[in-house]
Amino acid sequence: MHSTQLAIPEVFLFEPRVFSDDRGFFFESFNQHEFEAAVGKKIHFVQSNHSYSIRHVLRGLHYQIQQAQGKLVRVAAGSVFDVAVDIRRQSPTFGQWVGEILSAENKKQLWIPAGFAHGFIVLSDHAEFLYNTTDYWAPQHERCIVWNDAELAINWPLAGMQPVLSEKDARGVCFHDADVYE
């Protein structure tokens, strides 16, 4: 598995070695030893999640202010534009974001450490999104930053379309007013 450190140093893109022939393909989607060697520390996943969304659904920007979750994310069907926003006030990259296209075709995975808000928009007719987390879902600690915050200025690939949002995501707070990690 090849790892690439992104513009925010703690965020990594993982690309597996894919073995394919006329029967199909095989790839190792996770290797604890290689993953920890790349990110430089021990990581323990406690929960796996799977979501299905239709085109233009935008989920995020989500995080938990307590029980912060690191997330290893990938797409099993379709494609998404996936975003990680650094919301650690003491970080030199506070308020910066990185985005990557993840798809069933490219099989890339993104490591988003604890201390980041996370979101994605579906680019294909539908997408199945898989992620492992380092802590459990805690709805009482869940927070949401509005997807189109002017200060963050995330360049979502919308092509003139309005995203499809949940009520929770539509009510997200602006970055300036968000609870962040101290």
3-state secondary structure of 170: helix
CA distance 72 to 113: 8
Quick one: which H or E segment has residue 169?
Answer: helix 167-170
Q: Is 62 a catalytic residue?
A: yes
Instruction: Write down the number of H helices and E strands in the chain.
Output: 2, 13
Q: Looking at 131, 136, 176, 181, which residue is catalytic?
A: 131
Among 2, 52, 56, 62, the active-site one is 62
Are residues 135 and 64 in contact, defined by beta-carbon separation less than 8 angstroms? yes
What amino acid positions are annotated as catalytic residues? Answer: 62, 131
